[in-house]
């Protein structure tokens, strides 16, 4: 298989869905409110008023609903934390626990590590949950088949030898609440969660460019966990490792390396 470029067309599909579902003639503020309340209801959260970044509450945890057309970024986490601190003790919908659930269609690559640690440093227990595509399926919504999955965690070891970078996957964890019992019982090693993984050796803060990949086949059911790359020039590079798990979710880790 040749390297290929991964592009996300989901944003435009979601924008069209939002317009059709919540009304093209509504003012932007009203449309956003209906959109957020719809997702909060699916998440079994209660909508709240008076905040810009905190949109609901569930079991004592505050809830933020991400936009349809942009990923949740580190700047969003900063604003959530600032507003959370200001909201403590300010009324009936004030935070009762130092905890926030962030619902998003997409997340910036560093959210699962840097963002969660940033919130932890602010004294907030932050969980990031992916809004599933099923929310756009009326039948799935009606049948109650919509589940929000917490982001998985990926561990990658790096080693540099002269001009060559070596990568090795060391661990991959999926929150157990997201996985059916029969699937959990069938998994004997963490690598079995991974369907395939790919690497962009020199990302320029743009689209993920698939420059190397490995995947399972019937002939070779085990997954290669190590790879390497030789750089032609010395410098500092941003490496992206993308994992697609057996549930179809993708997890990306960003690594800075000096060659």
Is residue 197 in a domain? yes
**Do 164 and 123 fall within a single domain?**
no
For residues 248 and 189, is the Cβ–Cβ distance under 8 A? no
What number of CA atoms fall less than 13 Å from residue 102's CA on the CB side?
Answer: 30
**Do 119 and 14 fall within a single domain?**
yes
Asked if residue 58 has pLDDT above 80, the reply is yes
**Do 247 and 204 fall within a single domain?**
yes
> Domain containing 24 — which CATH number?
3.40.91
Give the structural domain span for 103: 10-150
Decide which of 183 and 23 is more confident. 183
Give pLDDT tens digits for 67-83. 998 899 999 999 999 99
Is residue 61 in a domain? yes
**Do 131 and 174 fall within a single domain?**
no
Give pLDDT tens digits for 12-44. 888 888 888 887 666 788 889 999 999 999 999
Among 128, 150, 172, identify where a domain stops: 150
Residue 2's pLDDT band, with cuts at 50, 70 and 90, is: low
The pTM of the whole model exceeds 0.85 = no
**Do 165 and 135 fall within a single domain?**
no
Among 102, 134, 150, identify where a domain stops: 150
% of the chain beyond a pLDDT of 90: 53
Is residue 3 in a domain? no
Task: Give dist(CA 194, CA 250) in Å, integer.
Answer: 10
Is residue 215 in a domain? yes
Is residue 1 in a domain? no
Asked if residue 7 has pLDDT above 60, the reply is no
**Do 22 and 140 fall within a single domain?**
yes
- What average pLDDT does this structure show over 193-220? 92
**Do 126 and 217 fall within a single domain?**
no
Residue 9's pLDDT band, with cuts at 50, 70 and 90, is: low
215 phi, psi to nearest 5 deg? -155, 165
Q: Residue 11: beta bridge partners? A: none
**Do 225 and 135 fall within a single domain?**
no
Per DSSP, the residues of the chain read ---EE----HHHHHHHHHHHHH-TTS-HHHHHHHHHHHHHHHTT-EE--S-SS--EEETTEEEEE--SSS-B-HHHHHHHHHHHHHHTTSSTTS-SSSEEEEEESSB-TTIIIIIHHHHHHTT-EEEEEEPPGGGG-HHHHHHT---PEEPPEEEEEEEEETTEEEEEEEEEE--GGGS-HHHHHH--SGGGGEEEEEEETT--SSS-EE-EEEE--SS--S---EEEEE-SS-SEEEEEEEEEETTS-EEEEEEEEE-
Among 90, 121, 150, identify where a domain stops: 150
Q: Which pLDDT does position 6 carry in this prediction?
A: 46
First to last CA, the chain: 27
For residues 112 and 75, is the Cβ–Cβ distance under 8 A? no
Long-range interactions of 217-226: CB distance < 8 A, separation 24+: 222/191, 223/191, 223/194, 223/196, 223/197, 225/168, 225/169, 225/191, 226/166, 226/167, 226/168, 226/169
Residue 3's pLDDT band, with cuts at 50, 70 and 90, is: low
Is residue 5 in a domain? no
Give pLDDT tens digits for 222-257. 899 999 999 999 999 999 999 999 888 888 888 999
Number of folded domains in the chain?
Answer: 2
**Do 166 and 134 fall within a single domain?**
no
Task: Give dist(CA 50, CA 230) in Å, integer.
Answer: 53
Is residue 247 in a domain? yes
Asked if residue 113 has pLDDT above 80, the reply is no
**Do 241 and 160 fall within a single domain?**
yes
Which of 150-154, 165-169, 241-245, 248-252: highest mean pLDDT? 165-169
**Do 56 and 135 fall within a single domain?**
yes
Q: Which pLDDT does position 111 carry in this prediction?
A: 83
> Domain containing 221 — which CATH number?
2.60.40.10
**Do 39 and 95 fall within a single domain?**
yes
3-state secondary structure 186-227: HCCCHHHHEEEEEEECCCCCCCCEECEEEECCCCCCCCCCEE
């Amino acid at each position: 298989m040749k390297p290929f470029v991964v592009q996300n067309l989901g944003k435009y599909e979601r924008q069209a869905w939002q317009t059709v579902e919540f009304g093209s003639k509504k003012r932007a503020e009203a449309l956003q409110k209906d959109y957020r309340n719809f997702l909060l209801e699916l998440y079994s959260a209660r909508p709240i008023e008076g905040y810009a970044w905190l949109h609901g509450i569930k079991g004592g945890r505050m809830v933020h609903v991400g936009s349809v057309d942009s990923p949740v970024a580190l700047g969003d986490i900063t604003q959530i934390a600032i507003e959370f601190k200001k909201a403590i003790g300010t009324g009936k919908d004030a935070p009762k626990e130092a905890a926030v659930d962030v619902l998003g269609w997409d997340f910036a690559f560093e959210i699962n590590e840097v963002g969660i640690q940033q919130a932890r440093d602010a004294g907030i227990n932050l969980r990031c949950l992916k809004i599933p595509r099923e929310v756009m399926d009326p039948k799935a919504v009606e049948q109650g088949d919509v589940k929000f999955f917490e982001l998985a965690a990926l561990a990658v070891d790096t080693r540099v030898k002269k001009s060559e970078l070596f990568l090795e996957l060391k661990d991959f964890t999926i929150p157990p609440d997201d996985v059916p019992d029969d699937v959990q019982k069938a998994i004997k090693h963490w690598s079995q969660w991974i369907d395939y993984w790919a690497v962009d050796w020199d990302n320029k803060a743009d689209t993920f460019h698939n420059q190397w990949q490995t995947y399972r086949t019937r002939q070779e059911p085990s997954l290669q966990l190590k790879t390497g790359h030789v750089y032609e020039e010395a410098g500092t590079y941003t490496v992206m490792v993308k994992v697609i798990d057996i549930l179809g979710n993708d997890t990306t880790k960003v690594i800075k390396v000096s060659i």
